[in-house]
Amino acid sequence: MSPLELDFDSCYRAVSARDSRFDGRFYTAVTTTRIYCRPICPARTPSSRNVRFYRHAASAEAAGFRPCKRCRPELSPGDPGWDVRGDLVGRALRLIDDGAADEQGVAGLAKRLHITERHLHRLFVAELGVGPLAVARTKRLLLAKQLLTETGLPVTEVAFAAGFGSVRQFNATMRETYGFTPSELRATAGRRAPEPGADDEAGPVTLRLRLHRREPYDVDGVFAFLASRAIPGLEVADRTSYARAVPGGTITLTPKPDHIALDVAVDDTRQLARVVARCRRLLDLDADPEAISEILGQTSLGPLVAARPGLRVPGTFDGFELAVRAVVGQQISVAGARTLLGRIVARAAAPGGLFPTPARLLESDLTGLGLTNRRIDTLKDLAARLAEGHLDLDGGQDPAEAVAGLLEVRGIGPWTAGYIALRALRDPDAWPTGDLVLDKRMAALGIPQDHIERWRPWRAYAALHLWSSS
């Protein structure tokens, strides 16, 4: 089944088999119950004459269906077809996940993509059958549904955390779309409302959410990768957990048998949607291991793929942070880069212990940290381009254009740009040209250099397989 087209017979077979490989790829709507489900829903498979299939949850909701309380569509892993697309719709969907539409509206979303609001709407309707406003609303509702079901967060906080402007709007939208109020959903979920005054205490709001992943998932590989690169003063990580400072608080990610537990402590719950989206990208939870293995497993990487079928490409929580990591890490060891990055954080950290923003790095004195003058110039040039809006490393810019812009920065060459594309831009075909470790591993395994082209469109995952094999 094509990632962008729905074949009724293929979808129905997947639903009948409760095939987890299709979870998140489409949604099954039942005309007799007016409910839509994930392909893995444990309920009895409906008759084919009563079924409709939709590419996105927003499309199902726009057609008048409400989410199943049993299989909980809000827990679906993201669609890998959209996750790897660098076109306008794919980038717009990632920005909506990141909360861009909630903060800036659809007009602001279109502006960030450098197109008109009308053109963006036209693209969404052609691809999904609904506009970006409907997609953003569904995203808010599903996040609210998860918060109501899994946490004791007061309804007022849930409304703002999910991106609604008021509790009245939240109640009205949920009743209109789902047919029940937030309080009614919480009662049926068996979640007890907090005691009166429980939300009046000073301090950050703390809660735990489940982040579902697509299996197989190489937990050890992902967490070991992050642990070896954890920046002192910003991150604390080992093979069993990953914690870091985020705007307004902290997060901790802990692997569980069938999901990742996200523990959040934030002063402003309106940041929650962005935190969830960036954690998913950091851990590469929405990748399609079957599609990756199908291509790479038939090449000279076959033995490595068979040994680690669920390997992922760890992303980043912030694009600028990753770009600085890449520049600092040029031609030095991972341990050496960690030391220098820790010094940068100690010298220039933003309030709350956060990694410095581009504007803050521009203002900071980076001399005396062990960085060469040329490396400092590169960091300053990079920061200036992001601060002025010439570069966008968090999803708004076409990956090819972003790479071209990176190559214009003094001191950034193909390896650095490729590494940034691989982790920050989420380009599944990015390749860090000239990486000495990759060259050595390929030579040790007897893999000719011309095999790199055979690994398209998954060269980023090929690079991780080679790095992980050393």
The Cα–Cα gap between 278 and 264 comes to 13
Rounded distance between C-alpha atoms, residue 341 and residue 257, angstroms: 33
Kindly tell me the burial class for residue 266, based on how many C-beta atoms sit within 10 Å of its own C-beta (0-12, 13-18, 19 or more).
buried
CB proximity list for 266: less than 8 A, separation 6 or greater: 204, 205, 246, 247, 248, 249, 272, 275
pLDDT value, residue 434: 94
Helix (H) or strand (E) holding 436: helix 436-444
Within a 10 A sphere around the Cβ of 87, how many other Cβ atoms? 12
**CA proximity to 147, closest of 70, 203, 214, 75:** 75
Q: Kindly give the interhelix angle for 88-97 and 272-282, rounded to the nearest 10 degrees.
A: 120
Per-residue pLDDT, 259: 96
User: Residues 147, 83, 403, 467: what is their CA dihedral angle, to the nearest 10 degrees?
Assistant: 100
pLDDT for the residue 200: 47
Catalytic residue among 23, 102, 394, 435: 435
Given 11, 23, 37, 394, the catalytic residue: 37
Spans of the chain below 70 pLDDT = 1-5, 83-84, 190-202
CA distance 54 to 7: 11
The pLDDT score that the predictor gives to residue 119 is 97
Is 381 among the catalytic positions?
no
DSSP notation for 80-128 = HHHHT--SHHHHHHHHHHTTHHHHHHHHHHHHHTTS-HHHHHHHHHHHH
Query: pLDDT tens across 423-454, in order?
Result: 999 999 999 999 999 999 999 999 999 999 99
What are the respective helix, strand and coil percentages of the chain, to the nearest 5?
50, 10, 40
Active-site residue, 11 included: no
Closest CA to 327 of 353, 354, 361, 351: 361
The amino acid sitting at 410 is R
CB 417 within 8 A of CB 403: yes
Q: Which two tokens stand for residue 210?
A: 């489940």
d(CA 286, CA 254): 17
Rounded Cα–Cα distance for residues 395 and 9 (Å): 34
Which are the contacts of 466, defined by CB distance < 8 A and separation ≥ 6? 301, 304, 437, 438, 441, 442, 445
Query: What digits encode the pLDDT tens for the residues 147-206?
Result: 999 999 999 999 999 999 899 999 999 999 999 999 999 988 765 555 444 444 567 899
Q: Which amino acid is at 262?
A: L
Q: Give the per-residue pLDDT at 85.
A: 73
